[in-house]
Amino acid sequence: MKDAFHGSARIPHGPYAAHRDLADVTTRPYHGSGPSLRRRGTAHTAPVWIRRASGHCFDRLPRIALDVNVQWGAIPCWSGRARRWAHETVPAAYRLRYNTHVRPVMPNNPVSLKSVVAVAEARASFADHRTGRNCRPTNERIAQLTGLSVRTVQRASTALRLLGVATEVMRGRQRTRAERYASWRVGDRGRGWASVWALHDSRFHRLSPHPEGSLLENQPSVKNSLTTSTRPKAGSSAAPRRTAPSPQALTLANRWICDRHSPPWARRYRTGAPWARLLTTVAEHGWTPRDLNQAITDWIGTGHWIPDAPHKPIGLLGAILAAHGNPAERPSALEEAREAAEFTLTRKRIAAQFAERDAALRARQAARAALSGSGRRAALDIARQAAQRALQRRAEADRLAHEERRTRVDEIRGIPAN
């Protein structure tokens, strides 16, 4: 993000400099709020005229406002109006720079063109219709207007800033204590300030690839002086028609782009069509996105280096597939076989645990059934009778012992026996 907004791109010199590097882009310095340039603004109270009673009376009421304290001349304006900026400038910048400048900066926070356009249209409705400046809506307000979540609004706003079609002049912040006191005095119960944005045309302008449109405007075009017809001739010398990629290869390419384990440079193209022609052979042998990612991992493991943003990603993947050799040998086949074996063993272990549980449940049910059977009732009756007989014998023994003690006591006292 710092490289995209700070400083200016190097512009080549010479009459044919545009032909030497078509990718050179002229940029303007970024004058928004950032880590090195934080703007807080100055809050002040001022009276405002409020129309009352159907327009026949005006009341002068105080209000609080925030002055950004920025030189607006350093920030460009939009050339058209809100609709042109939201429906022409923003989509063009999205298609040109999203995959190369926004997606790498926000790898896990994608945002669609539809959401970006919706947020851009909502922000444009709050900006100055002549310049596109002083856009101060809150994220909650934009989410309410667009029907999107606040997080989606934040991602879309970041994408607008990275695309170079909007500048965050001042970041939102909480109000200081003095500002809160001043807000309460004028009847404003707000506790923060929303971010201030400036909506403008794209900061990035591609140089013209033709000398006539760049530096040699007064010289005749070399192409117009050619006498050779550029129309291809029919016959054996004509270029062959390119065949459409196979459905299997196109499906594999799209699945590989959408796989979360694929490298970021795999998603440089929005569809899998550019990759499909390269993946035709491996798709016929049943390769999966996991096989492609495993081949890339094996390539790195053998000592090769892969940059974060390869210059020619299709050529890099072709070199990796060529180094792999036989397309019939899938890179992740052994790993999938091992996982399948572990899965089978796990299923067997779980099945054995369920069998043991069922056996224990059946034994428990049999034991519970045995508790209420005829044999248990007979055993309980026998035990009850034995307990009664033992109680009777104990009572008889106690009675005989008591009579014997009483007779002995009578003998000692000299009382004749009856």
74-110 pLDDT tens trace: 788 888 888 999 999 999 999 999 998 898 888 888 9
- Rounded CA gap, 120 and 160, in Å? 8
Question: Which candidate, 111, 142, 103, places its Cα nearest to that of 126?
Answer: 142
- Provide the domain limits for residue 285: 247-324
Tell whether 239 is covered by a domain: no
Token pair for residue 91? Answer: 């989509």
Render pLDDT for 122-178 as a digit per residue (tens, 0 to 9): 999 999 888 898 898 999 999 999 999 999 999 999 999 999 999 988 888 888 888
| pLDDT over 90 (residue 44) | no
Length of the chain: 418
Mean pLDDT of the chain: 79
Q: Which is more confident, 240 or 400?
A: 400
Q: Are residues 26 and 141 in the same domain?
A: yes
What was the pLDDT predicted at 369?
81
- Rounded CA gap, 342 and 362, in Å? 30
Token pair for residue 300? Answer: 């790195």
Query: What is the number of domains present in the chain?
Result: 3
Q: Are residues 86 and 138 in the same domain?
A: yes
pTM above 0.85? no
Q: Are residues 409 and 280 in the same domain?
A: no
Q: Are residues 147 and 191 in the same domain?
A: yes
What was the pLDDT predicted at 242?
65
Tell whether 233 is covered by a domain: no
What was the pLDDT predicted at 1?
35
Which of these three, 206, 237, 260, is where a domain ends?
Answer: 206
| pLDDT over 50 (residue 241) | yes
Single-letter code of the amino acid located at 260: R
| pLDDT over 50 (residue 343) | yes
What was the pLDDT predicted at 292?
92
Tell whether 238 is covered by a domain: no
Q: Are residues 201 and 293 in the same domain?
A: no
User: What's the average model confidence in pLDDT over 193-198?
Assistant: 89
327: Cβ contacts below 8 Å, ≥ 6 apart: 281, 282, 284, 285, 287, 321
CB 253 within 8 A of CB 279: yes
CB 102 within 8 A of CB 267: no
Tell whether 152 is covered by a domain: yes
254: Cβ contacts below 8 Å, ≥ 6 apart: 271, 272
Phi first, then psi: give them for residue 132, nearest 5 degrees: 80, 15
- Rounded CA gap, 383 and 308, in Å? 86
User: What's the average model confidence in pLDDT over 60-72?
Assistant: 73
- Rounded CA gap, 373 and 367, in Å? 10
Token pair for residue 213? Answer: 């449109």
- Rounded CA gap, 116 and 125, in Å? 14
Q: Are residues 299 and 383 in the same domain?
A: no
Q: Are residues 20 and 147 in the same domain?
A: yes
Share of the chain above pLDDT 70, in %: 77
- Rounded CA gap, 262 and 313, in Å? 13
User: What's the average model confidence in pLDDT over 319-347?
Assistant: 91
Tell whether 286 is covered by a domain: yes
Tell whether 36 is covered by a domain: yes
> Which of 105-114, 176-185, 330-339, 343-352 shows the lowest per-residue confidence on average (mean pLDDT)?
176-185
What was the pLDDT predicted at 123?
93
Q: Are residues 14 and 132 in the same domain?
A: yes
- Rounded CA gap, 36 and 13, in Å? 31
The total of other beta-carbon atoms located within 10 Å of residue 45's CB is 15
Token pair for residue 143? Answer: 């989410």
What was the pLDDT predicted at 3?
35
| pLDDT over 90 (residue 65) | no
Which of these three, 178, 206, 234, is where a domain ends?
Answer: 206
Q: Are residues 302 and 198 in the same domain?
A: no
Q: Are residues 178 and 313 in the same domain?
A: no
Q: Are residues 179 and 291 in the same domain?
A: no
The DSSP code for 88 is: I
Q: Are residues 43 and 77 in the same domain?
A: yes
Tell whether 219 is covered by a domain: no
The dihedral of CA 359, 360, 365, 367: what is its sign? positive
Which of these three, 279, 303, 324, is where a domain ends?
Answer: 324
> Which of 60-69, 208-217, 280-289, 377-386 shows the lowest per-residue confidence on average (mean pLDDT)?
208-217
Share of the chain above pLDDT 90, in %: 33
Confidence class of residue 17 from pLDDT cuts 50, 70 and 90? Answer: very low
Question: Which candidate, 220, 275, 216, 213, places its Cα nearest to that of 248?
Answer: 275
Tell whether 255 is covered by a domain: yes
User: What's the average model confidence in pLDDT over 169-189?
Assistant: 85
